[in-house]
Amino acid sequence: MSASYEGYHIWKIGDFQRRKQEAGKTSPVACFSRPFYTSSTGYKMCGRACLNGEGDSYGKYLSLHFVLLQGEFDELLEFPFKHSVAISLLAPKNPGRTRQMTLVPNDETLFAYKKPTDGRNQGIGFQKFIDFRELGAYYIVEDCIYIRYNVIRA
């Protein structure tokens, strides 16, 4: 599957129930989407999910994040990263129930928005994206969830 170069990416996580059960039986475990870009010479990034939550949300919420990756053209780009990123959990059978939260880079001192120097930065996002009690009703379809990332140009 080829990478997206429009700052827009939909990530399908299959075999969700098994992966959630295995995700961090003793501590949180993250999984990462394939990389996507804002343009052919733009920022490189990926999605990060803790299927069993993390921190205060561990065992109760799905945690979703955005991660800047080291890219081939970073020397030509402006850092810190200044674009907002909308993260959506899609509800395939009821699109009106899609849940979206938006990251707005309002603190330029955060490491997550700085130029990546060691492969990837730490993720930034939402530890309490959605409560597990809500997840199954609209968001899990044929044991898959769909997460959309959309970079909103500043």
* Closest C-alpha to 79, from 109, 56, 99: 109
For the stretch 107-134, pLDDT in tens is 988 999 999 999 999 999 999 999 999 9
110 is written with which tokens? Answer: 């955060």
In 10-153, where does DSSP find H-type helix?
Answer: 16-22, 132-138
Q: What is the pLDDT at residue 58?
A: 87
Residue 146 has pLDDT above 80, yes or no: yes
CATH number attached to the domain at 8-152: 2.60.210.10
Query: How far is it, in rounded angstroms, from Cα 17 to Cα 64?
Result: 16
Express as a percent the part of the chain with pLDDT over 70: 95
pLDDT digits (tens, 9 = 90+) for 9-24: 999 999 998 888 877 6
What are the extents of the domains in the chain? 8-152
Tell me: the pLDDT tens digits for 68-111?
A: 999 999 999 999 999 999 999 999 989 999 999 999 999 988 99
